Amino acid sequence: MDNMKVAYETMLGLAAEMVLDEALRKYRTESIYKAIDEALAQGDAGKFKQLTDELKSFGS
């Protein structure tokens, strides 16, 4: 019975970690999109390139 409890707790921990990772990825992606919009509005090509490269590395 204890092995099942450990396995269950491990699975819950992994699920929580996956939810947190997804939330952080979504937050960061949205932040990058906002910064890209600002860079475009300011005409900052260097910042735009940096941010789009960063966004590409996220796989979005």
**Residue 59 confidence (pLDDT):** 63
**Rounded Cα distance, 13 and 28, in Å:** 22
- Collapsing DSSP to helix, strand or coil, 44 comes out as coil
For the stretch 3-60, pLDDT in tens is 888 899 999 999 999 999 999 999 999 999 999 999 999 999 999 999 999 999 876 5
Q: What is the pLDDT of residue 1?
A: 62
Task: Say how far apart CA 12 and CA 8 lie, in whole Å.
Answer: 6
Give the pLDDT confidence score for residue 25 in this predicted structure. 94
Q: What is the dihedral of CA 34, 40, 42, 44, to 10 degrees?
A: 110
